[in-house]
């Protein structure tokens, strides 16, 4: 099993109540700069600690993630991360210019010496509001954009494109990707429709802000559809993102995880709540749909979150056992580890501890 390190670049100052879009009335440029500086330090330590990948994502209008353009962050990462692959999970291609996306991925692949992973996401309903695009078109726009991006990467002669959603008279991108025929592609695959599309197009799947039972159902369906399409996914075709905090002992890990994430002295709400609440809000769930999604993905009992593979928490020995359970149930080859909270030096030490005492023990899973 391989391990990736994901820092969502959370805003480090006082936050408004979770929602979307979030007012910037209490925004601090200093706090935002600290968040980005801290993330770069974490990526550097993760690379040095032996993580196979470092990952960044795209989100808009929220302190949950200060990364509206993951290409910019990834460009900076190429100067900090010297060994690990750099995964953009992803670019929300239906809302973007796919030719520009193809060019930027090719630039990053060249700058990194062929270490880019290309996550291609549909985005969430709120992100379609951001760019004033009809979310009912998302699947069709995604399919056309993905086909066009692949053609930009692989076609050597200038060509034109006239599709339903995208129209270009002449295309011939420079530079080309280092990786041939192109970087590895992943997409989000929680729904049956996404799993079937990924299987038919030989694209890997990523699961984030879900749990192992739900991801297992989706992954099994993806494998079935891939078999029908004439190929067999490997474990590396499945990415599973999970919140993590590691300390010297179980008790210390729990204490740091709980205390550092408290929003107020009376609430006792941990940052794990904030992370998952932010995911629900950023995913565009409202009304009863939002309540149903929260109930499914945000059980109040931390033990239930650990048991269903939403959170890895404890000493290195305990976390390795939790990872073994996830791997046995899901068969994912890439575990995308998300820091539970930015604890400064404690977080850097946790990253180092994962590299020293966890990663060597999961390599042969």
Q: Are 198 and 143 in contact (CB under 8 A)?
A: no
pTM given for the model: 0.90
Between helix 192-201 and helix 138-154 the angle, nearest 10°, is: 20
Q: What CA–CA distance (Å, rounded) separates 327 from 181?
A: 30
Q: Are 182 and 102 in contact (CB under 8 A)?
A: no
Query: Could you say which DSSP state residue 26 is in?
Result: T
What would the pLDDT profile of 55-76 be if each residue is shown by its tens digit? 999 988 888 889 999 999 999 9
Counting runs of H as helices and runs of E as strands, what totals does the chain give? Answer: 14, 11
Phi, psi for 87 (deg, rounded to 5) = -105, 125
What would the pLDDT profile of 137-148 be if each residue is shown by its tens digit? 999 999 999 999
**Which tokens sit at 310?**
């939403």
Q: Is the pLDDT of residue 278 over 60?
A: no
Share of the chain above pLDDT 70, in %: 88
Average pLDDT over residues 79-99: 95
**Which tokens sit at 276?**
């998952």
Split at pLDDT 50, 70, 90, the class of 280 is very low
CB within 8 Å of 307: residues ≥ 6 apart: none
What would the pLDDT profile of 330-351 be if each residue is shown by its tens digit? 999 999 999 877 778 888 999 9
Assign domain 2-362 one CATH number from 3.10.20.30, 3.20.20.30, 2.60.40.3080, 3.40.50.1820: 3.20.20.30
Split at pLDDT 50, 70, 90, the class of 296 is low
């Amino acid at each position: 099993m391989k391990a990736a390190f994901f820092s969502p670049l959370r805003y480090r100052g006082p936050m408004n109540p979770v929602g979307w879009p979030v007012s910037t009335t209490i925004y601090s440029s200093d706090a935002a700069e600290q968040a980005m500086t801290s993330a770069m330090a974490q990526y550097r330590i993760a690379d040095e600690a032996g993580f196979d990948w470092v990952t960044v994502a795209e989100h808009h209008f929220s302190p949950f993630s200060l990364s509206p353009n993951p290409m910019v962050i990834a460009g900076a990462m190429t100067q900090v991360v010297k060994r690990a692959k750099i995964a953009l999970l992803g670019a929300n291609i239906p809302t973007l210019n796919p030719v520009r996306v193809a060019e930027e991925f090719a630039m990053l692949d060249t700058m990194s010496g062929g270490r880019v992973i290309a996550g291609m996401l549909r985005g969430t309903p709120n992100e379609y509001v951001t760019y004033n695009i009809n979310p009912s078109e998302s699947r069709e726009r995604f399919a056309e954009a993905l086909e066009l991006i692949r053609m930009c990467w692989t076609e050597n002669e200038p060509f034109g494109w006239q599709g339903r959603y995208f129209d270009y008279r002449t295309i011939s991108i420079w530079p080309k990707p280092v990786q041939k025929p192109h970087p590895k592609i992943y997409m989000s695959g929680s729904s049956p429709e996404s799993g079937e599309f990924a299987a038919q197009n030989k694209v890997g799947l990523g699961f984030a802000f879900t749990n192992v039972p739900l991801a297992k159902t989706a992954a099994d369906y993806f494998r079935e559809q891939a078999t029908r399409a004439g190929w067999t996914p490997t474990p590396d075709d499945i990415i599973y993102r999970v919140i993590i905090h590691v300390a010297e002992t179980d008790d210390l890990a729990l204490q740091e995880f709980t205390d550092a994430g408290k929003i107020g002295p009376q609430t006792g709400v941990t940052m794990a709540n904030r992370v998952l609440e932010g995911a629900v809000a950023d995913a565009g769930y409202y009304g009863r749909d939002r309540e149903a999604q929260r109930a499914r993905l945000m059980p109040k009992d931390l033990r239930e979150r650990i048991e269903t593979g939403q959170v890895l928490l404890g000493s290195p020995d305990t976390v390795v056992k939790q990872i073994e359970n996830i791997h046995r149930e899901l068969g994912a080859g890439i575990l995308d580890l998300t820091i539970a909270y930015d604890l400064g030096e404690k977080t850097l030490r946790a990253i180092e501890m994962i590299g020293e005492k966890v990663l060597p023990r999961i390599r042969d899973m």
